[in-house]
Protein backbone atom coordinates (compact mmCIF):
# COMPACT_ATOMS: atom_id res chain seq x y z
CA UNK A 1 0.00 0.00 0.00
CA UNK A 2 2.76 2.36 0.95
CA UNK A 3 4.85 1.62 -2.17
CA UNK A 4 1.85 2.23 -4.39
CA UNK A 5 1.38 5.61 -2.68
CA UNK A 6 5.00 6.53 -3.41
CA UNK A 7 4.59 5.44 -7.04
CA UNK A 8 1.56 7.68 -7.38
CA UNK A 9 3.53 10.57 -5.89
CA UNK A 10 6.36 10.01 -8.35
CA UNK A 11 3.90 9.88 -11.17
CA UNK A 12 2.33 13.15 -10.01
CA UNK A 13 5.75 14.79 -9.85
CA UNK A 14 6.83 13.53 -13.25
CA UNK A 15 3.57 14.68 -14.78
CA UNK A 16 3.73 18.05 -13.06
CA UNK A 17 3.17 20.52 -15.84
CA UNK A 18 3.24 23.78 -13.97
CA UNK A 19 1.02 22.64 -11.10
CA UNK A 20 1.88 22.64 -7.42
CA UNK A 21 2.02 19.32 -5.59
CA UNK A 22 -0.70 18.26 -3.17
CA UNK A 23 0.98 18.57 0.24
CA UNK A 24 -1.96 16.91 2.01
CA UNK A 25 -1.33 13.81 -0.10
CA UNK A 26 2.32 13.72 0.93
CA UNK A 27 1.18 14.15 4.54
CA UNK A 28 -1.00 11.04 4.17
CA UNK A 29 1.96 9.12 2.73
CA UNK A 30 4.07 10.08 5.73
CA UNK A 31 1.31 8.88 8.02
CA UNK A 32 1.26 5.54 6.16
CA UNK A 33 5.04 5.31 6.30
CA UNK A 34 5.19 5.92 10.06
CA UNK A 35 2.50 3.24 10.50
CA UNK A 36 4.40 0.81 8.22
CA UNK A 37 7.63 1.30 10.16
CA UNK A 38 5.76 0.87 13.47
CA UNK A 39 4.31 -2.43 12.23
CA UNK A 40 7.16 -3.95 10.23
CA UNK A 41 10.21 -2.18 11.66
CA UNK A 42 11.39 -0.72 8.38
CA UNK A 43 10.00 0.79 5.20
CA UNK A 44 9.32 -1.47 2.19
CA UNK A 45 12.40 -3.03 0.61
CA UNK A 46 13.10 -0.59 -2.18
CA UNK A 47 11.16 2.38 -0.91
CA UNK A 48 14.03 4.82 -1.29
CA UNK A 49 14.62 3.66 -4.82
CA UNK A 50 10.94 4.08 -5.55
CA UNK A 51 11.15 7.65 -4.30
CA UNK A 52 13.67 8.26 -7.08
CA UNK A 53 16.80 9.40 -5.27
CA UNK A 54 19.09 8.17 -8.00
CA UNK A 55 19.10 8.40 -11.74
CA UNK A 56 21.53 5.88 -13.24
CA UNK A 57 20.51 6.38 -16.86
CA UNK A 58 22.05 9.58 -18.33
CA UNK A 59 19.33 9.89 -20.98
CA UNK A 60 16.52 9.83 -18.38
CA UNK A 61 18.44 12.34 -16.29
CA UNK A 62 18.81 14.69 -19.23
CA UNK A 63 15.09 14.40 -19.97
CA UNK A 64 14.21 15.04 -16.30
CA UNK A 65 16.48 18.09 -16.22
CA UNK A 66 15.16 19.53 -19.47
CA UNK A 67 11.56 19.18 -18.31
CA UNK A 68 12.39 20.77 -14.95
CA UNK A 69 14.15 23.71 -16.59
CA UNK A 70 11.38 24.28 -19.12
CA UNK A 71 8.67 24.22 -16.43
CA UNK A 72 10.66 26.65 -14.31
CA UNK A 73 11.64 29.02 -17.13
CA UNK A 74 8.07 29.18 -18.42
CA UNK A 75 6.73 30.15 -15.02
CA UNK A 76 9.48 32.65 -14.21
CA UNK A 77 9.08 34.42 -17.55
CA UNK A 78 5.40 34.94 -16.68
CA UNK A 79 5.59 35.65 -12.93
CA UNK A 80 9.01 37.06 -11.98
CA UNK A 81 9.86 40.59 -13.17
CA UNK A 82 13.59 39.92 -12.79
CA UNK A 83 13.57 36.78 -14.94
CA UNK A 84 11.01 38.06 -17.44
CA UNK A 85 13.64 40.69 -18.31
CA UNK A 86 16.48 38.15 -18.28
CA UNK A 87 14.74 35.72 -20.65
CA UNK A 88 13.65 38.54 -22.95
CA UNK A 89 17.18 39.99 -23.06
CA UNK A 90 18.63 36.56 -23.90
CA UNK A 91 15.99 36.11 -26.61
CA UNK A 92 15.31 32.57 -25.42
CA UNK A 93 11.82 31.16 -25.93
CA UNK A 94 10.80 29.64 -22.61
CA UNK A 95 8.15 27.35 -24.13
CA UNK A 96 10.83 25.24 -25.77
CA UNK A 97 13.58 25.93 -23.23
CA UNK A 98 16.24 23.21 -23.44
CA UNK A 99 19.46 22.38 -21.66
CA UNK A 100 21.40 23.98 -24.51
CA UNK A 101 19.68 27.34 -23.86
CA UNK A 102 20.96 27.48 -20.32
CA UNK A 103 24.23 29.22 -21.13
CA UNK A 104 22.40 32.15 -22.71
CA UNK A 105 21.01 33.10 -19.27
CA UNK A 106 23.57 34.89 -17.07
CA UNK A 107 24.00 33.61 -13.52
CA UNK A 108 22.12 35.34 -10.71
CA UNK A 109 24.31 36.75 -7.95
CA UNK A 110 23.75 37.45 -4.27
CA UNK A 111 24.06 41.15 -5.11
CA UNK A 112 21.10 40.82 -7.54
CA UNK A 113 19.10 39.21 -4.76
CA UNK A 114 19.94 41.93 -2.25
CA UNK A 115 19.58 44.95 -4.53
CA UNK A 116 16.48 43.90 -6.47
CA UNK A 117 14.75 41.60 -3.98
CA UNK A 118 11.24 42.78 -4.93
CA UNK A 119 11.75 41.87 -8.59
CA UNK A 120 12.33 38.21 -7.70
CA UNK A 121 8.94 37.73 -6.04
CA UNK A 122 6.50 35.79 -8.21
CA UNK A 123 3.25 37.64 -8.84
CA UNK A 124 0.96 34.60 -8.60
CA UNK A 125 1.61 33.61 -4.98
CA UNK A 126 1.27 35.43 -1.65
CA UNK A 127 4.42 35.58 0.48
CA UNK A 128 4.23 34.00 3.92
CA UNK A 129 7.60 34.04 5.71
CA UNK A 130 10.94 35.72 5.14
CA UNK A 131 14.26 34.12 5.98
CA UNK A 132 17.79 35.51 5.81
CA UNK A 133 21.07 34.07 4.75
CA UNK A 134 23.24 33.46 7.84
CA UNK A 135 26.74 33.04 6.42
CA UNK A 136 29.76 34.76 7.93
CA UNK A 137 30.52 36.99 4.97
CA UNK A 138 28.76 39.96 3.42
CA UNK A 139 25.32 41.45 3.76
CA UNK A 140 22.51 38.96 4.31
CA UNK A 141 19.99 38.37 1.54
CA UNK A 142 16.30 38.00 2.36
CA UNK A 143 14.32 35.20 0.76
CA UNK A 144 10.51 35.17 0.92
CA UNK A 145 8.74 31.81 1.11
CA UNK A 146 5.14 30.87 0.44
CA UNK A 147 2.90 28.85 2.71
CA UNK A 148 2.97 26.07 0.10
CA UNK A 149 6.79 25.90 0.30
CA UNK A 150 6.66 25.76 4.09
CA UNK A 151 4.29 22.80 3.81
CA UNK A 152 5.96 21.04 0.90
CA UNK A 153 9.60 21.05 2.02
CA UNK A 154 9.15 19.50 5.47
CA UNK A 155 6.78 16.93 3.95
CA UNK A 156 9.38 15.86 1.38
CA UNK A 157 12.14 16.03 4.01
CA UNK A 158 10.14 13.89 6.47
CA UNK A 159 9.40 11.37 3.73
CA UNK A 160 13.02 10.95 2.66
CA UNK A 161 14.37 11.10 6.26
CA UNK A 162 12.01 8.32 7.32
CA UNK A 163 12.88 6.26 4.24
CA UNK A 164 16.60 6.67 4.85
CA UNK A 165 16.18 6.06 8.60
CA UNK A 166 17.70 9.50 9.20
CA UNK A 167 14.70 10.26 11.42
CA UNK A 168 12.48 7.88 13.36
CA UNK A 169 9.23 8.37 15.17
CA UNK A 170 10.30 8.87 18.81
CA UNK A 171 13.64 10.55 18.01
CA UNK A 172 14.62 13.64 20.00
CA UNK A 173 16.35 16.15 17.76
CA UNK A 174 18.49 18.98 19.11
CA UNK A 175 19.15 21.83 16.71
CA UNK A 176 22.06 24.14 17.47
CA UNK A 177 21.70 26.57 14.60
CA UNK A 178 21.40 30.33 14.50
CA UNK A 179 17.88 31.34 15.58
CA UNK A 180 17.81 33.82 12.70
CA UNK A 181 18.01 30.93 10.24
CA UNK A 182 14.22 31.18 10.29
CA UNK A 183 13.47 28.80 7.43
CA UNK A 184 15.90 26.10 8.57
CA UNK A 185 14.53 26.14 12.12
CA UNK A 186 10.86 26.19 11.06
CA UNK A 187 11.42 23.43 8.52
CA UNK A 188 13.27 21.24 10.99
CA UNK A 189 10.49 21.62 13.55
CA UNK A 190 7.83 20.83 10.93
CA UNK A 191 9.80 17.82 9.65
CA UNK A 192 10.05 16.45 13.20
CA UNK A 193 6.33 17.03 13.76
CA UNK A 194 5.44 15.08 10.61
CA UNK A 195 7.86 12.25 11.44
CA UNK A 196 6.63 11.96 15.04
CA UNK A 197 9.95 13.15 16.51
CA UNK A 198 10.54 15.67 19.31
CA UNK A 199 12.43 18.85 18.45
CA UNK A 200 14.64 21.16 20.59
CA UNK A 201 15.51 24.38 18.77
CA UNK A 202 18.24 25.54 21.13
CA UNK A 203 20.16 28.07 19.02
CA UNK A 204 23.84 28.84 19.50
CA UNK A 205 24.17 28.83 23.28
CA UNK A 206 27.20 28.23 25.51
CA UNK A 207 28.54 24.81 24.44
CA UNK A 208 28.45 23.50 28.02
CA UNK A 209 24.72 24.16 28.08
CA UNK A 210 24.24 22.34 24.76
CA UNK A 211 26.23 19.33 26.04
CA UNK A 212 24.12 19.24 29.23
CA UNK A 213 20.99 19.28 27.08
CA UNK A 214 22.25 16.35 24.96
CA UNK A 215 22.60 14.32 28.16
CA UNK A 216 19.51 15.49 30.06
CA UNK A 217 17.03 15.38 27.18
CA UNK A 218 18.42 12.04 25.86
CA UNK A 219 18.87 13.61 22.48
CA UNK A 220 19.14 11.04 19.65
CA UNK A 221 19.72 13.31 16.64
CA UNK A 222 21.87 16.46 16.60
CA UNK A 223 21.93 19.06 13.84
CA UNK A 224 24.49 21.88 13.89
CA UNK A 225 27.41 23.59 12.13
CA UNK A 226 30.90 22.04 12.01
CA UNK A 227 32.38 24.93 14.05
CA UNK A 228 29.78 24.47 16.79
CA UNK A 229 30.31 20.69 16.68
CA UNK A 230 33.98 21.51 17.36
CA UNK A 231 32.98 23.51 20.43
CA UNK A 232 30.61 20.78 21.62
CA UNK A 233 33.31 18.10 21.30
CA UNK A 234 35.83 20.26 23.15
CA UNK A 235 33.31 21.08 25.90
CA UNK A 236 32.19 17.44 26.25
CA UNK A 237 35.80 16.32 26.65
CA UNK A 238 36.46 19.04 29.24
CA UNK A 239 33.33 17.99 31.16
CA UNK A 240 34.20 14.28 30.93
CA UNK A 241 31.06 13.52 28.88
CA UNK A 242 31.40 10.58 26.47
CA UNK A 243 29.36 8.02 24.53
CA UNK A 244 28.25 6.28 27.75
CA UNK A 245 26.43 9.46 28.85
CA UNK A 246 24.77 10.13 25.52
CA UNK A 247 21.92 8.62 23.48
CA UNK A 248 22.94 10.07 20.10
CA UNK A 249 22.58 7.89 17.01
CA UNK A 250 23.03 10.52 14.35
CA UNK A 251 24.84 13.86 13.96
CA UNK A 252 24.32 16.09 10.93
CA UNK A 253 26.32 19.18 10.10
CA UNK A 254 26.33 21.67 7.24
CA UNK A 255 27.10 25.25 6.28
CA UNK A 256 30.87 25.09 6.80
CA UNK A 257 33.86 22.85 6.12
CA UNK A 258 33.95 19.68 8.25
CA UNK A 259 37.55 18.45 8.55
CA UNK A 260 38.35 14.71 8.78
CA UNK A 261 40.07 15.26 12.18
CA UNK A 262 36.99 16.94 13.64
CA UNK A 263 34.68 14.29 12.14
CA UNK A 264 36.74 11.51 13.76
CA UNK A 265 36.78 13.34 17.10
CA UNK A 266 33.02 13.93 16.88
CA UNK A 267 32.38 10.22 16.32
CA UNK A 268 34.62 9.21 19.24
CA UNK A 269 33.25 11.70 21.75
CA UNK A 270 29.58 11.61 20.76
CA UNK A 271 29.47 7.86 20.05
CA UNK A 272 28.09 7.95 16.49
CA UNK A 273 29.41 5.88 13.53
CA UNK A 274 29.86 8.91 11.27
CA UNK A 275 28.99 12.58 10.95
CA UNK A 276 26.55 13.32 8.11
CA UNK A 277 27.79 16.26 6.09
CA UNK A 278 25.05 17.91 4.05
CA UNK A 279 25.11 20.87 1.69
CA UNK A 280 22.35 23.41 1.36
CA UNK A 281 22.17 27.18 1.01
CA UNK A 282 19.22 29.42 1.90
CA UNK A 283 19.08 31.05 -1.54
CA UNK A 284 18.80 27.69 -3.35
CA UNK A 285 16.51 25.72 -1.03
CA UNK A 286 15.25 23.01 -1.33
CA UNK A 287 18.06 21.73 -3.59
CA UNK A 288 20.66 20.01 -1.44
CA UNK A 289 23.71 17.78 -1.62
CA UNK A 290 25.05 15.02 0.58
CA UNK A 291 28.46 13.52 1.14
CA UNK A 292 29.16 9.86 0.38
CA UNK A 293 31.68 7.48 1.95
CA UNK A 294 34.21 8.36 -0.75
CA UNK A 295 34.21 12.04 0.18
CA UNK A 296 32.25 13.31 -2.83
CA UNK A 297 29.36 15.74 -2.66
CA UNK A 298 26.36 14.32 -4.55
CA UNK A 299 23.74 16.67 -5.93
CA UNK A 300 19.98 16.28 -5.97
CA UNK A 301 18.60 15.81 -9.49
CA UNK A 302 14.88 15.76 -8.76
CA UNK A 303 14.32 19.18 -7.26
CA UNK A 304 16.83 21.16 -9.29
CA UNK A 305 19.93 21.38 -11.43
CA UNK A 306 23.41 21.94 -10.02
CA UNK A 307 26.11 23.12 -12.44
CA UNK A 308 29.80 23.74 -11.83
CA UNK A 309 31.11 26.80 -13.67
CA UNK A 310 34.76 27.83 -14.00
CA UNK A 311 35.64 30.73 -11.68
CA UNK A 312 36.81 33.07 -14.40
CA UNK A 313 35.24 31.61 -17.53
CA UNK A 314 31.60 31.07 -16.43
CA UNK A 315 31.81 28.01 -18.72
CA UNK A 316 31.26 24.45 -17.39
CA UNK A 317 34.36 23.49 -15.39
CA UNK A 318 36.51 20.68 -16.80
CA UNK A 319 37.42 17.51 -14.85
CA UNK A 320 39.90 18.44 -12.12
CA UNK A 321 39.11 22.17 -12.40
CA UNK A 322 37.93 24.38 -9.54
CA UNK A 323 34.52 25.94 -10.02
CA UNK A 324 31.53 27.51 -8.30
CA UNK A 325 28.25 25.69 -7.70
CA UNK A 326 25.40 27.24 -9.68
CA UNK A 327 21.94 26.02 -8.69
CA UNK A 328 18.49 26.20 -10.29
CA UNK A 329 15.65 24.90 -8.11
CA UNK A 330 12.76 23.58 -10.24
CA UNK A 331 9.08 24.49 -10.07
CA UNK A 332 6.95 23.12 -8.35
CA UNK A 333 9.57 22.73 -5.61
CA UNK A 334 10.34 26.44 -5.42
CA UNK A 335 7.49 28.89 -5.54
CA UNK A 336 7.60 32.36 -4.01
CA UNK A 337 10.98 33.93 -4.78
CA UNK A 338 12.77 31.47 -7.05
CA UNK A 339 16.25 31.84 -8.48
CA UNK A 340 17.48 30.57 -11.82
CA UNK A 341 21.20 29.74 -12.18
CA UNK A 342 22.08 31.10 -8.73
CA UNK A 343 25.84 31.44 -8.31
CA UNK A 344 26.49 30.25 -4.75
CA UNK A 345 30.25 31.07 -4.91
CA UNK A 346 30.75 27.79 -3.09
CA UNK A 347 33.98 26.28 -4.40
CA UNK A 348 34.18 22.69 -5.55
CA UNK A 349 36.50 20.73 -7.79
CA UNK A 350 35.11 18.72 -10.71
CA UNK A 351 35.86 15.04 -10.28
CA UNK A 352 37.93 13.14 -12.85
CA UNK A 353 35.70 11.75 -15.59
CA UNK A 354 35.99 8.07 -14.49
CA UNK A 355 32.75 6.35 -13.37
CA UNK A 356 32.05 6.49 -9.62
CA UNK A 357 31.92 3.39 -7.43
CA UNK A 358 30.47 4.87 -4.22
CA UNK A 359 27.06 4.15 -2.68
CA UNK A 360 25.55 7.28 -4.31
CA UNK A 361 27.12 6.66 -7.75
CA UNK A 362 23.71 7.17 -9.41
CA UNK A 363 23.77 10.88 -8.57
CA UNK A 364 26.12 13.45 -10.13
CA UNK A 365 28.97 14.44 -7.85
CA UNK A 366 31.75 16.95 -7.26
CA UNK A 367 34.35 17.29 -4.55
CA UNK A 368 32.97 18.49 -1.24
CA UNK A 369 32.68 22.25 -0.84
CA UNK A 370 36.20 23.68 -0.46
CA UNK A 371 35.20 27.10 0.89
CA UNK A 372 33.92 30.35 -0.61
CA UNK A 373 35.36 31.48 -3.95
CA UNK A 374 36.43 34.86 -2.53
CA UNK A 375 38.57 33.07 0.08
CA UNK A 376 40.57 31.10 -2.51
CA UNK A 377 44.26 31.96 -2.27
CA UNK A 378 46.13 32.15 -5.52
CA UNK A 379 49.92 32.39 -5.29
CA UNK A 380 50.49 31.86 -9.00
CA UNK A 381 49.42 29.55 -11.82
CA UNK A 382 48.33 26.15 -10.44
CA UNK A 383 49.27 27.31 -6.93
CA UNK A 384 45.83 27.67 -5.44
CA UNK A 385 45.06 26.93 -1.81
CA UNK A 386 41.45 26.49 -0.72
CA UNK A 387 40.02 27.26 2.73
CA UNK A 388 39.36 23.52 3.15
CA UNK A 389 43.07 22.73 2.79
CA UNK A 390 43.89 25.23 5.55
CA UNK A 391 41.08 24.14 7.87
CA UNK A 392 41.90 20.43 7.38
CA UNK A 393 45.60 21.07 8.15
CA UNK A 394 44.99 23.31 11.18
CA UNK A 395 42.38 21.00 12.70
CA UNK A 396 44.76 18.04 12.22
CA UNK A 397 47.34 19.65 14.55
CA UNK A 398 47.92 17.46 17.63
CA UNK A 399 46.88 20.43 19.82
CA UNK A 400 43.29 19.97 18.53
CA UNK A 401 42.63 23.70 17.94
CA UNK A 402 38.97 23.32 17.00
CA UNK A 403 37.38 25.13 15.23
CA UNK A 404 40.30 26.35 13.09
CA UNK A 405 41.10 30.06 13.54
CA UNK A 406 43.44 31.66 11.06
CA UNK A 407 44.04 34.51 8.69
CA UNK A 408 45.50 33.86 5.27
CA UNK A 409 46.52 36.13 2.42
CA UNK A 410 48.96 36.32 -0.45
CA UNK A 411 51.95 38.68 -0.22
CA UNK A 412 54.68 38.89 -2.83
CA UNK A 413 53.58 35.61 -4.40
CA UNK A 414 53.70 33.74 -1.06
CA UNK A 415 50.79 32.52 1.05
CA UNK A 416 51.00 33.87 4.60
CA UNK A 417 49.11 31.88 7.21
CA UNK A 418 48.63 33.36 10.69
CA UNK A 419 47.47 31.05 13.48
CA UNK A 420 47.05 31.83 17.20
CA UNK A 421 49.80 30.72 19.61
CA UNK A 422 47.36 28.33 21.34
CA UNK A 423 47.01 26.36 18.11
CA UNK A 424 50.69 25.35 18.16
CA UNK A 425 51.19 25.49 21.93
CA UNK A 426 53.96 23.10 23.03
CA UNK A 427 54.78 22.00 19.48
CA UNK A 428 57.57 24.42 18.64
CA UNK A 429 57.64 26.42 15.44
CA UNK A 430 59.77 23.87 13.57
CA UNK A 431 57.30 21.03 14.16
CA UNK A 432 54.36 23.29 13.27
CA UNK A 433 56.01 24.32 9.99
CA UNK A 434 56.72 20.69 9.11
CA UNK A 435 53.10 19.80 9.86
CA UNK A 436 51.86 22.25 7.21
CA UNK A 437 54.58 21.21 4.73
CA UNK A 438 53.58 17.55 5.25
CA UNK A 439 49.98 18.58 4.45
CA UNK A 440 51.26 19.76 1.06
CA UNK A 441 51.00 23.47 1.92
CA UNK A 442 53.78 25.72 0.69
CA UNK A 443 53.13 28.64 3.06
CA UNK A 444 54.85 31.07 5.40
CA UNK A 445 53.60 30.53 8.94
CA UNK A 446 53.13 33.37 11.42
CA UNK A 447 52.16 32.72 15.01
CA UNK A 448 50.11 35.53 16.51
CA UNK A 449 48.98 36.35 20.03
CA UNK A 450 45.80 34.62 21.19
CA UNK A 451 44.14 37.96 21.88
CA UNK A 452 44.06 38.54 18.12
CA UNK A 453 41.52 35.68 17.87
CA UNK A 454 38.56 37.98 17.13
CA UNK A 455 40.30 39.21 13.96
CA UNK A 456 40.90 35.67 12.69
CA UNK A 457 38.45 33.42 10.83
CA UNK A 458 34.87 33.85 12.00
CA UNK A 459 32.57 30.88 12.29
CA UNK A 460 28.83 30.38 12.46
CA UNK A 461 29.32 29.21 16.05
CA UNK A 462 30.54 32.71 17.00
CA UNK A 463 27.05 34.19 16.87
CA UNK A 464 26.27 33.32 20.48
CA UNK A 465 22.78 33.88 21.74
CA UNK A 466 22.86 35.24 25.22
CA UNK A 467 20.14 35.16 27.86
CA UNK A 468 19.78 36.11 31.49
CA UNK A 469 20.37 33.22 33.82
CA UNK A 470 21.86 29.83 33.11
CA UNK A 471 25.56 29.68 32.36
CA UNK A 472 25.47 31.41 29.02
CA UNK A 473 28.28 33.75 28.16
CA UNK A 474 28.75 36.42 25.57
CA UNK A 475 31.23 36.00 22.72
CA UNK A 476 34.75 36.45 23.97
CA UNK A 477 33.64 36.66 27.61
Do 134 and 461 form a contact (C-beta atoms < 8 A)? no
CA distances, 48 to each of 54, 164, 406 (Å)? 9, 7, 42
User: From the CB of 327, what's the least distance to Zn ion, in Å?
Assistant: 19
User: From the CB of 384, what's the least distance to Zn ion, in Å?
Assistant: 23
Do 35 and 77 form a contact (C-beta atoms < 8 A)? no
Of the listed pieces 59-67, 136-144, 360-368, 370-378, which binds Zn ion according to CB under 5 A?
A: 360-368
Secondary structure (3-state) at 98: coil
Name the residue nearer to Zn ion (CB basis): 18 or 320.
320
Q: Out of 296, 299, 388, 405, which residue is the one contacting Zn ion (CB under 5 A)?
A: 296
Do 69 and 334 form a contact (C-beta atoms < 8 A)? no
Of the listed pieces 71-79, 111-119, 211-219, 290-298, which binds Zn ion according to CB under 5 A?
A: 290-298
User: From the CB of 53, what's the least distance to Zn ion, in Å?
Assistant: 13
User: From the CB of 292, what's the least distance to Zn ion, in Å?
Assistant: 3
Q: Out of 292, 351, 378, 410, which residue is the one contacting Zn ion (CB under 5 A)?
A: 292
Secondary structure (3-state) at 131: strand
Name the residue nearer to Zn ion (CB basis): 327 or 365.
365
Cα end-to-end span (Å), the chain:
57
User: From the CB of 54, what's the least distance to Zn ion, in Å?
Assistant: 11
Name the residue nearer to Zn ion (CB basis): 168 or 296.
296
User: From the CB of 299, what's the least distance to Zn ion, in Å?
Assistant: 11
Of the listed pieces 112-120, 327-335, 353-361, 464-472, which binds Zn ion according to CB under 5 A?
A: 353-361
What is the C-alpha to C-alpha distance for residues 198 and 192, in angstroms, rounded to an integer? 6
User: From the CB of 319, what's the least distance to Zn ion, in Å?
Assistant: 15
What is the C-alpha to C-alpha distance for residues 456 and 444, in angstroms, rounded to an integer? 16
User: From the CB of 365, what's the least distance to Zn ion, in Å?
Assistant: 5
Name the residue nearer to Zn ion (CB basis): 78 or 358.
358
User: From the CB of 392, what's the least distance to Zn ion, in Å?
Assistant: 18
Of the listed pieces 76-84, 182-190, 359-367, 453-461, which binds Zn ion according to CB under 5 A?
A: 359-367
Name the residue nearer to Zn ion (CB basis): 355 or 469.
355
DSSP 177-194: S-TT-HHHHHHHHHHHHH
Name the residue nearer to Zn ion (CB basis): 94 or 366.
366
Interface residues for Zn ion in 363-392 (CB under 5 A)? 365
Name the residue nearer to Zn ion (CB basis): 365 or 418.
365
Count of residues interacting with Zn ion (CB under 5 A)? 6
What is the C-alpha to C-alpha distance for residues 375 and 75, in angstroms, rounded to an integer? 35
Binding mask 301-340 for Zn ion (x = CB under 5 A): ----------------------------------------
User: From the CB of 367, what's the least distance to Zn ion, in Å?
Assistant: 10
Q: How many CB atoms lie within 10 A of CB 13?
A: 18
Cα–Cα nearest to 394, from 456, 348, 350, 320: 456
Q: Out of 10, 294, 433, 458, which residue is the one contacting Zn ion (CB under 5 A)?
A: 294
Q: Out of 117, 217, 311, 358, which residue is the one contacting Zn ion (CB under 5 A)?
A: 358
Name the residue nearer to Zn ion (CB basis): 12 or 292.
292
Q: What is the DSSP letter of 335?
A: -
User: From the CB of 360, what's the least distance to Zn ion, in Å?
Assistant: 5
Residue 89 parent element (H or E): helix 81-90
Cα–Cα nearest to 425, from 406, 448, 457: 448
Of the listed pieces 44-52, 87-95, 295-303, 337-345, which binds Zn ion according to CB under 5 A?
A: 295-303
Q: Is the dihedral of CA 320, 288, 334, 301 positive or negative?
A: positive
Q: Answer yes or no whether residue 299 interacts with Zn ion by CB under 5 A.
A: no
Name the residue nearer to Zn ion (CB basis): 303 or 366.
366
365: Cα within 13 Å, side-chain hemisphere = 27
Give a three-class secondary structure readout of 407-465: EEEEECCEEEEEEEHHHHCCCCHHHHHHHHHHCCCCEEEEEECHHHHHHCCCCHHHCCC
Cα–Cα nearest to 149, from 331, 3, 396, 8: 331
Which residues in this chain contact Zn ion in the complex, by CB under 5 A?
Answer: 292, 294, 296, 358, 360, 365
Amino acid sequence: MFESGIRQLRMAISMAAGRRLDTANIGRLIHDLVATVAEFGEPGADAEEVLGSSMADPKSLQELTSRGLRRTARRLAAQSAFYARRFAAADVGTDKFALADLRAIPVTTKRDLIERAGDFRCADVPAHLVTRTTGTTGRPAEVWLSRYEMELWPALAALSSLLQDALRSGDVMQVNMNSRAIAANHLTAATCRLAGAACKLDGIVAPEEAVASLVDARVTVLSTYPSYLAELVTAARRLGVGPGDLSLRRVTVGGEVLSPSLATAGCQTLGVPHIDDVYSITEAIPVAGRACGHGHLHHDVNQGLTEVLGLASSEPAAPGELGTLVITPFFPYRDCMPVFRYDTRDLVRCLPSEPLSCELAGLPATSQVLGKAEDLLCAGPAREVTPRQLIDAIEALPTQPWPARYRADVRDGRIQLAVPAAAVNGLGEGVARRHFADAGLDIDLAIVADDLLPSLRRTRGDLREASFGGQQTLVGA
